[in-house]
């Protein structure tokens, strides 16, 4: 399952991406904004998407299992990443090209992609999302060790 979220600055891009994801046969849940509201706040959508992913991940026993993914869109992409990363188990990052997102999923098991509606085009977003959705975590011992260290940090804070 793909969980989508966007604030007012990412709303138009999210709506276009929903149609595209449907055409490709992906299942998604739109976690908002469900309509354009210039006064909405990105942390609300980041939290909702992050919580959905965190709940869906409970009970998974391996980094190599199929996991839910999130796509969040705001003006810079950064605000959504900052907010989503406050949720235990979320590994969100902003990507500006397909190679960057491929490495982030492969090495860090990124589960939330954040995009900038202001700095990338719809076509760039699609190229990044395609790679995000098809790339899997490599599972190398060193990557798993690093993820365990991140879990320890989450537990301490």
pLDDT digits (tens, 9 = 90+) for 25-67: 999 999 999 999 999 999 999 999 999 999 988 876 665 566 8
Work out the number of other CB atoms within 10 angstroms of the CB of residue 55. Answer: 11
CA nearest neighbour of 30 among 19, 21, 18: 18
Domains and CATH numbers, the chain: 2-156 (3.40.1400.10)
Q: What is the pTM of this model?
A: 0.94
Beta bridge partners of 94: 114
pLDDT digits (tens, 9 = 90+) for 93-136: 999 999 999 999 999 999 999 999 999 999 999 999 999 999 99
């Amino acid at each position: 399952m793909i969980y989508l979220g966007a604030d007012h600055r990412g709303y138009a891009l999210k709506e276009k991406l929903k149609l595209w994801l449907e055409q490709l046969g992906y299942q998604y849940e739109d976690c908002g904004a469900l309509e354009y509201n210039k006064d909405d706040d990105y942390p609300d959508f980041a939290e909702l998407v992050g919580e959905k992913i965190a709940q869906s991940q409970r009970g998974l026993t391996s980094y190599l299992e199929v996991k839910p993914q999130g796509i969040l869109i705001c003006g810079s992409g950064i605000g959504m990443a900052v907010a989503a990363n406050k949720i235990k188990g979320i590994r969100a990052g902003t990507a500006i090209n397909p190679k960057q997102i491929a490495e982030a999923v492969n090495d860090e098991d990124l589960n939330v992609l954040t995009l900038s509606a202001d700095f990338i085009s719809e076509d760039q977003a699609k190229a990044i999302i395609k790679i995000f959705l098809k790339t899997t975590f490599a599972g190398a011992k060193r990557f798993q060790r690093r993820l365990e260290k991140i879990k320890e940090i989450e537990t301490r804070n």
